Structure 1
């Protein structure tokens, strides 16, 4: 594929942070953890209320209802406060810190200890309910805070060995059976808590790690692009003098060829070529001037106002090719970031023209290239159609993801930069087969991102 070089980024616009580059939301596992704790506390309160209501009638166990009801009300009030905190974080787009989660776990362990105190202390089969709480804490908190919670739970357990309110059984002979039944209920509740909370939280953490890995890969790709940007800055600086020299020589030769006083000379036969050479040199100088422009002055433009001049400039680059552009009425008013969209389309059209020229011969003249711009739902779709040699299926999946060599002698750097610029606009390039032969390249951009701003690849330069 045809090579492309992009200028270095504007130092006044630093690279975006990891989450912004990736396009993915920042990790919000602590907010998810707080929400899970809130729902789990409601479930436990429901279970505790059910046990309190059925314990005496079903199991024959008399409980101190007044202090237990007070503890349930306190837990419910605290959970209402937790719901308010969740809404507060949602409104401000913030996340709870480790200290807030630590307080949540401390309240739960304290409530469990108080309930156990009034229901048999360490003899209560639900005393091992400390373990699921610590398992949840280990999943959401740093190990130092988990160690503090473990020490606190151990202290509470030890105190419950020494002082507690004994359970009053209507039939003490069934104490062992009650204890075994309580252990079974404790195991079921613990297993459900661990399966629902810890497993789902672990899945959230795995998703976060996958997002971070994707973001790191994207940053690596951007680092490669920035390396090309650095090379482009040097090339743009160094190429100005040779171009000026060539322009002077071409101008002198064209003047000699057009001078009637010199009569018919050999160089006169090359007068059209010399004019084309001067035209191309002027185009190169204009490209270099555009590279040096401050990207802040390149405001988004309407598609219908921008596409005409763009086609004319591209046609000057490829006088042997023909390009027809068509803009759908609903796409015309859409504003686009002209610098980056022009960069992407220039790279795509250059490759399409080269592919189509490679297949043309004296017996077959390929149709003109087509650029169709239309709205597709909430996206702006720019489709380039050529009738060239097409793209091998094995190569198509690698285009834009890394520089790859093509059958036309290119290295895929241009398409790599184009895909990077498309991603920064929130879109993506895709390559499809043209049923009539050749390739259809689709650039799909969100209508909000098509006019966005970027810190990379403001323009592309293709020698």
Structure 2
């Protein structure tokens, strides 16, 4: 809906209150002869209809449909036009400066209602103006021809007062301008918010589609690679056993043992891919400390001795609630990327993983000593299948999946390339609620 029921009801309360204040001021301090009781009764019609509208919106169990909303709001605007026409008929008709409030109703209807409703209300407003021109109850102060003269002319005759009709025209113009601008700016703001929400939804949908495609790819890869890996595992085991029995070269035996371990590691990864079907946030959330999370990251890292872990402000004991396997796998991919980047400059270089507390979040910073990234690479680094590594060295999914996991947990991942070199990945994760 272009506007919500609460705001529209509040607008009508304010309008009715302003009408009562105006009537009281005109009849009281200004002493203008006007039919007070009928005017107050007309304001009562607005108040009663708004109370019924408020009750209708508050007691509904489901939000109104667009058609119901248009019918109710359109009916109330027709009523407001009728009340305004009746009040003007009692207070000078077209000579009443508050006739400009027709345009407030028409501006509102033109934006929040369908075209047929807006045109119908325009016809009613024109009809109302025509009827007022034909018959209305005159007010003496509004019949004064002085109101048609400029203040310069009036003051030139030595009169220093401002005719009441001119004051009323200024008040009416200012009030209608304030209402219209307030409404249009509010509506524009809501439309901008709606557009931003739509773009976020489209972006999220695109990300989900990419993840589903990766899930299909992962499941297919796990299925296709399972058989040849099993064959390799059997062949290596047989060769390893026969070499041990024959007393073969110790270096070759150790190499075969290494191959067996790496094949087993590959099978474990493939089983995880097949189980999770590429959905990186799979798994039940569990409570774990930051130190336990980083320990899981380093456990399956090929070169954990290349990572220096630093904890600031006791952040090692901060607790998270997250699927530990998926989150550790995501951070591990980032750390491995940092090690690979460092190898390009110094094969013995170190990667620093620093943990710190930031408000109610855990901040993990992974800094490498690599060559850094140019701006064009930095902007695309989180895209799926984008990689600067040599063919066969990576698929370009690490940062994409890491960002997906972290954002699904309510966190954020930021990639920077400082001017002094290297790259810095900052992962921010929400802490578990304290019990």
Task: Give the TM-score taking structure 2 as reference length.
Answer: 0.78
State the alpha-carbon separation in 1 of the partners of residues 27 and 285 from structure 2: 74
Contact 2:16/2:43 (<8 A) preserved: yes
State the alpha-carbon separation in 2 of the partners of residues 171 and 102 from structure 1: 32
Describe the SS at the equivalent of 2:275. coil
Contact 1:429/1:442 (<8 A) preserved: yes
Q: 2:423 aligns with which of 439, 446, 455?
A: 439
Alignment of 1:54-133 (within 5 A): 54-55=25-26, 61-79=32-50, 97-133=69-105
Aligned equivalent of 1:150? 122
State the alpha-carbon separation in 2 of the partners of residues 173 and 216 from structure 1: 62
User: Max radius of gyration: which structure?
Assistant: 2
What's the CA shift for 1:138? 1.7
Identify which range, 276-285 or 434-443, moves more after superposition.
434-443
Aligned equivalent of 1:13? none
Aligned equivalent of 1:191? 177
Describe the SS at the equivalent of 1:299. coil
State the alpha-carbon separation in 1 of the partners of residues 97 and 131 from structure 2: 16
State the alpha-carbon separation in 1 of the partners of residues 116 and 317 from structure 2: 57
1:301 aligns with 2:272: no
Describe the SS at the equivalent of 2:81. helix
1:387 aligns with 2:358: no
1:366 aligns with 2:346: no
Identify which range, 216-225 or 118-127, moves more after superposition.
118-127
Contact 1:386/1:440 (<8 A) preserved: yes
RMSD: 3.7
Contact 1:102/1:141 (<8 A) preserved: yes
Aligned equivalent of 1:48? 19
Aligned equivalent of 2:155? none
Q: 1:378 aligns with which of 335, 339, 360?
A: 360
1:282 aligns with 2:264: yes
State the alpha-carbon separation in 2 of the partners of residues 256 and 190 from structure 1: 96
1:344 aligns with 2:330: yes
Identify if the C-alpha distance between structure 1 residues 412 and 44 changes in structure 2 by more than 3 Å, giving closer, same or farther.
same
Task: Give the TM-score taking structure 1 as reference length.
Answer: 0.74
Identify if the C-alpha distance between structure 1 residues 39 and 338 changes in structure 2 by more than 3 Å, giving closer, same or farther.
same
Q: Which runs of 5+ in 1 are unaligned?
A: 1-27, 450-463
State the alpha-carbon separation in 1 of the partners of residues 432 and 110 from structure 2: 42
Aligned equivalent of 1:241? 227
Identify if the C-alpha distance between structure 1 residues 195 and 398 changes in structure 2 by more than 3 Å, giving closer, same or farther.
same
Identify which range, 124-133 or 64-73, moves more after superposition.
124-133
State the alpha-carbon separation in 2 of the partners of residues 170 and 376 from structure 1: 68
Aligned equivalent of 1:230? 216
What's the CA shift for 1:228? 2.2
Listed one character per residue, the Cα deviations across residues 187-217 of structure 1 (whole Å, up to 9, x for unaligned) are: 3333222222113312321232133123213
Identify which range, 185-194 or 415-424, moves more after superposition.
185-194
Identify if the C-alpha distance between structure 1 residues 194 and 270 changes in structure 2 by more than 3 Å, giving closer, same or farther.
same
Contact 1:355/1:408 (<8 A) preserved: no
Listed one character per residue, the Cα deviations across residues 233-270 of structure 1 (whole Å, up to 9, x for unaligned) are: 211111111111111222223223323x3x556xx532
Identify which range, 196-205 or 406-415, moves more after superposition.
406-415
Aligned equivalent of 2:240? 254
Question: Highest relative contact order (Cα 8 Å, sep 6+), 1 or 2?
Answer: 1
Describe the SS at the equivalent of 2:372. coil
Describe the SS at the equivalent of 2:373. coil
Identify if the C-alpha distance between structure 1 residues 145 and 378 changes in structure 2 by more than 3 Å, giving closer, same or farther.
farther
Contact 1:359/1:389 (<8 A) preserved: yes
Contact 1:56/1:63 (<8 A) preserved: yes
State the alpha-carbon separation in 2 of the partners of residues 139 and 432 from structure 1: 45
Aligned equivalent of 1:422? 406
State the alpha-carbon separation in 2 of the partners of residues 200 and 42 from structure 1: 17
What's the CA shift for 1:60? 6.5
Describe the SS at the equivalent of 1:130. helix
State the alpha-carbon separation in 2 of the partners of residues 106 and 170 from structure 1: 29
Listed one character per residue, the Cα deviations across residues 17-62 of structure 1 (whole Å, up to 9, x for unaligned) are: xxxxxxxxxxx7532xx44434443443454344323435777741
Contact 1:63/1:167 (<8 A) preserved: no
Identify if the C-alpha distance between structure 1 residues 297 and 168 changes in structure 2 by more than 3 Å, giving closer, same or farther.
closer
Describe the SS at the equivalent of 2:424. strand
Contact 1:385/1:439 (<8 A) preserved: yes
What's the CA shift for 1:337? 2.0
Aligned equivalent of 1:211? 197
Contact 1:387/1:436 (<8 A) preserved: no
What's the CA shift for 1:65? 0.4
Describe the SS at the equivalent of 1:334. strand
Contact 1:404/1:413 (<8 A) preserved: yes
